[in-house]
Structure 1
Amino acid sequence: MVLPRPSSPSISPSGRSPMLVRLASASVAVALSVALSACTTGVGSAADGSEADASSSSSARTVAHARGETAVPAAPQRVVVLEPVALDTTIALGIVPVGAAVLNEAAGVPAYLGDEAASIETVGTVTEPDVEKIASLAPDLVIGTESRHSALYDQLSAVAPTVFLASQADAWKDNVALVGEALGRADEATVLLADYQARCDEIASEFDVSGTAQLIRPRDGLLTLYGPESFAGSTLECVGFETPERDWEDSISVDLSPEKVLDATADQVFVTTTDVSDESTTPEAISDNASAFPELHLVDQSYWITGVGPLGGLAVLDDIEGVLSRTR
């Protein structure tokens, strides 16, 4: 079974689009009240004691993060994000970043984030952000990740107040909460996460979900299996599936060689791809053992793997609901 890549948020059997409902409520709750500006400047303190600009605001807040504490604008408007969860969450909270690091510069900003995200300037990749490009955008806030961007912290702090998540592998909901705090929209972030949970509960109740589910990402000749602590794995569990037991080696994922493909079986198996309409993107190891994978679903990598955040979560839940509607 192949899930088509949606060109717009999918519609549930109840006749409404969960993503659009959440987007609309979020937009109302956190609509921009100040025009984009890079002209006014204040002074904030980075964790190392150095001074950093705090623009677009006449006051500042202190945000605790992976590097200590940083003074950030009360209502940042020119935000640059260096991590998928920060990109997704910022847009979900009603702010379109002026710049974003992406996983693949050729692919750019993920399409699931909507048309307004097309205006975002790319500033290098998630693993190699370009500080000069970031500086050229005159941001008033930069959100990065200690595990990826530690060496750039001082440079980024010299450009704008900088807040670091600890790791992209941390519990994604905690990262959403920190991004909300950095943006001055902590309460709205809490609402977004509550909406996500409510959607999980709705699907779990409607379909009485049970059994096991496994997400597989083919890459570099291996099969990467995602566990219950991962973004998509936790979403599968949120609706009632169980992840097959294995040693996750204190990580969100483990790699299998194709020869061990039968270790990846489950009642429902989801395989990521960049083209859900192309069944040939199914790994040969799985195709050659089709009888062991009777319920196989190609899903869009742009949000199942890289779309970490409230909007990506709703997109994944729409796909899960589609699968359950067709298989019950």
Structure 2
Amino acid sequence: MKHKAKWMGLLFLTLTALLLVACGKVGGNDSDESNKESKSKDSVAIKHEGGTTHIDKKPQRVVSLEFSFVDALAALDIKPVGVADDGKKDRILKPIRDKIGDYKSVGARKQPNLEEISNQKPDLIIADSNRHKGIQQDLEKIAPTIMLPSFDSDYKDNIEAFKTISKAVGKEDKGKDRLKEHNELMDKYKKEITMDKSQPVLATVIAKSGLLAHPENTYVGDLLKELGFNNALNKTETDNLSKYLKGPYVQLNSEVLSDINPGRMFIMVDKGKNDPNLKKQEEEPVWQSLDAVKNDNVSVVDRNTWARARGIISSEEIAKQLVDISKNEQNDKQQK
């Protein structure tokens, strides 16, 4: 009897232990489900060019690694804690600087400083899907990171990026309202740009390396197309110039420039009409033979605004400048 009672006691203890383990597992599953449910409530899933990232709703400390993303944040009334600004704050357009206030520089856009980014304790990093794809994993170790087009984006790509950023920072409704305002402004400016848009137009940066043109699949090229301009470097032209391509941009030599022979040019420089690279270009014989030069249809514009910013605020600034150029041309004609 004693032997039987001993075995009954062991069996009872074993069953009790099994029940406790089972209850523990059930409790654990409930906890896991609760955590998943909590995560879904407290975060938003953002699809981007680098995958899908879960971001806490309304992140408070955002780091931007491109100017177009700074533009988007400013349009949403968000002040980033860190910006890759190439160590030059004046590269950010003044209306955008005024909105975002103070921030910490986190290095160059081409090669941001990971340690400095980490020091800002961000809860969201917005990176360029072209320039920063090699450091995506490093960025993700610091904070949730979304990868969006900027450097090689066109105007429409940038609008889509703005929508993604609006969702990521918990301001989707404000983003929709701002885009509605943007579209209305751009329609207004489009009507007020009275210059001849049918002429083949060339938008190009002039730097030490020469002319780097922006065809219609670039930000400026696509924006000009949206405003009704006829781009001299359309898809057919750029397909024939594939050996000159640098990403979406086209390196022009004198021969190619002469063949294109634009009727109007927008020249993007860093130092205005007295930019030394522009002065050097103006001495070239081919330059003097261009229709745009002969007919005084060359406009010198700010490279930061036209080439580097690539955002909805900067595009509004470009459109306003085109309206002003139109008015000046009309005044000049009336005085002749």
CA–CA separation in structure 2 for the residues paired with 1:121 and 1:263 = 46
2:265 equivalent to 1:272: no
Aligned equivalent of 2:188, options 202, 224, 228:
202
How many corresponding residue pairs? 271
Point out the more displaced range, 249-258 or 135-144. Answer: 249-258
**Which residue of the partner structure matches residue 124 of structure 1?**
107
Structure 1 pair 186–81 and aligned structure 2 pair: CA distance change class (3 A): same
CA–CA separation in structure 1 for the residues paired with 2:103 and 2:44 = 26
Q: Does structure 2 retain, via aligned residues, the 8 Å contact 1:258–1:285?
A: no
2:286 equivalent to 1:295: no
2:269 equivalent to 1:284: no
**Which residue of the partner structure matches residue 22 of structure 2?**
none
Aligned equivalent of 1:247, options 232, 238, 248:
238
**Which residue of the partner structure matches residue 41 of structure 1?**
none
Aligned equivalent of 1:153, options 116, 127, 136:
136
CA–CA separation in structure 2 for the residues paired with 1:286 and 1:265 = 15
**Which residue of the partner structure matches residue 236 of structure 1?**
224
2:258 equivalent to 1:262: yes
Aligned equivalent of 2:170, options 158, 180, 184:
184
**Which residue of the partner structure matches residue 143 of structure 1?**
126
Structure 2: which 5+ runs fail to align? 1-38, 331-336
CA RMSD across the alignment: 2.4
Q: TM-score, normalised by structure 1?
A: 0.75
Superposed displacement of residue 107, structure 1? 5.1
Superposed displacement of residue 59, structure 1? 2.0
Aligned residue identity for 1:285:
Q
**Which residue of the partner structure matches residue 34 of structure 1?**
none
- Percent identity between the two aligned chains: 21
For residue 114 of structure 1, give the secondary structure of its aligned residue in structure 2.
helix
Q: Deviations over 1:121-154 (max 9, x none)?
A: 1101111111110111111111112322123222
CA–CA separation in structure 1 for the residues paired with 2:251 and 2:60 = 40
Structure 1 pair 206–220 and aligned structure 2 pair: CA distance change class (3 A): closer
CA–CA separation in structure 2 for the residues paired with 1:110 and 1:257 = 30
Aligned residue identity for 1:133:
E
Structure 1 segment 156-167 matched on structure 2, within 5 A: 156-166=139-149
Which is helix-richer, 1 or 2?
2
CA–CA separation in structure 1 for the residues paired with 2:150 and 2:306 = 18
Superposed displacement of residue 168, structure 1? 3.1
Q: Deviations over 1:251-271 (max 9, x none)?
A: 532111245432454232111
Q: Deviations over 1:198-220 (max 9, x none)?
A: 23322332345522322110134
Aligned residue identity for 1:197:
N
For residue 213 of structure 1, give the secondary structure of its aligned residue in structure 2.
strand
CA–CA separation in structure 2 for the residues paired with 1:324 and 1:231 = 21
Q: Does structure 2 retain, via aligned residues, the 8 Å contact 1:222–1:258?
A: no
Structure 1 pair 287–189 and aligned structure 2 pair: CA distance change class (3 A): farther
CA–CA separation in structure 1 for the residues paired with 2:179 and 2:229 = 19
Q: Deviations over 1:35-72 (max 9, x none)?
A: xxxxxxxxxxxxxxxxxxx9xxx921111112221111
Q: Does structure 2 retain, via aligned residues, the 8 Å contact 1:200–1:238?
A: no
Superposed displacement of residue 99, structure 1? 0.3
2:209 equivalent to 1:221: yes
Q: Does structure 2 retain, via aligned residues, the 8 Å contact 1:101–1:125?
A: yes
